[in-house]
Amino acid sequence: MTNIRAQIARGDHKGKPLFPHKHADGKYVATTSRFEEDYVRVDSVDELKALIESGFGARMSNPDTGNAPSFIVNKKIQMEEVEHARPTAEILKSASHEVDLDGDSRSKYRKEQSLLRAYLLGGKDSGRCTICHHDFPFDMLVAAHLKKRSECSASEKKDIANIAALMCKTGCDDLYEQGYLSVRDGEVVKTKKEVTSAKVIEVLSQVTGNRVANWEGSSAYYQWHYSKFNK
């Protein structure tokens, strides 16, 4: 178990504690803003903890005040482990197993993506892009599926340690997704896809030759991708 707390910053109830708010649908909400489109709805405090560790804020409230829940930014949230904390990896693995995307809603997609990214970040709120090797804050990274998710078998989808990798939103994720680059023998390479944009050529030249840190576990997924874009 983990105690998640914050404090009311102003008004009549200043200084009183805030707790994760359980919404009418029974879910807790991790979010990076007060806007509903950014909400990630999770089923347990354990899942919420994992997302706060990876940089999210949360919707929090104090039932005694009668106030509506409010968005608390990540830096204002305190977390304290109290006996028998489940390891984050275990929480995320079981949470990820519950979600099946096929024909499923956008909010479930966001939850799976956020939990997978939190898992790959290993309890930190920043991480390294697998392709360009630069460091980024969590919200500039995605958990990129190395093999297209819709083509993965059920067991491949559950291979969460290897099926996805952190890639940055400054270009690597899209360059991989669109097949401008791939990975062969552990090394970032250009594909056969024709490139006429000088900017894309420049970006590709900066990352080709980089070695990917997860080649050993993920080689089969990278090989699927390489074949797809080098026909």
What Å distances lie between residue 105 and 88, 111, 113, 230, CA to CA?
Answer: 25, 10, 13, 32
Contact segment (CB under 5 A) with Zn ion among 9-17, 50-58, 126-134, 208-216 equals 126-134
Name which of 92 and 212 has its Cβ closer to Zn ion.
212
118 makes contact with Zn ion (CB under 5 A): no
Dihedral angle, C-alpha 210, 214, 220, 224, nearest 10 °: -50
Pairwise CA distance, residues 158 & 181, whole Å:
25
CB of 170 to Zn ion, least distance (A): 6
Amino acid at 3: N
Name which of 28 and 136 has its Cβ closer to Zn ion.
136
Name which of 120 and 172 has its Cβ closer to Zn ion.
172
Name which of 132 and 143 has its Cβ closer to Zn ion.
132
Pairwise CA distance, residues 138 & 190, whole Å:
26
Pairwise CA distance, residues 49 & 209, whole Å:
37
Closest C-alpha to 159, from 229, 224, 227: 224
Q: How many Cβ atoms sit within 10 Å of the Cβ of residue 14?
A: 9
Contact segment (CB under 5 A) with Zn ion among 5-13, 19-27, 130-138, 217-225 equals 130-138
CB 43 within 8 Å of CB 31: no
Contact segment (CB under 5 A) with Zn ion among 14-22, 111-119, 123-131, 180-188 equals 123-131
Q: Tokens at residue 148, please?
A: 């297209």
Among 40, 129, 143, 144, binds Zn ion (CB under 5 A): 129
Task: Tell me which residues in 150-179 interact with Zn ion (CB under 5 A).
Answer: 168, 172
203 makes contact with Zn ion (CB under 5 A): no
CB of 177 to Zn ion, least distance (A): 12
Name which of 120 and 131 has its Cβ closer to Zn ion.
131
120 makes contact with Zn ion (CB under 5 A): no
Residue keyed to tokens 């910053």? 9
# chain residues binding Zn ion, by CB under 5 A: 5
Contact residues toward Zn ion (CB under 5 A) are 129, 131-132, 168, 172
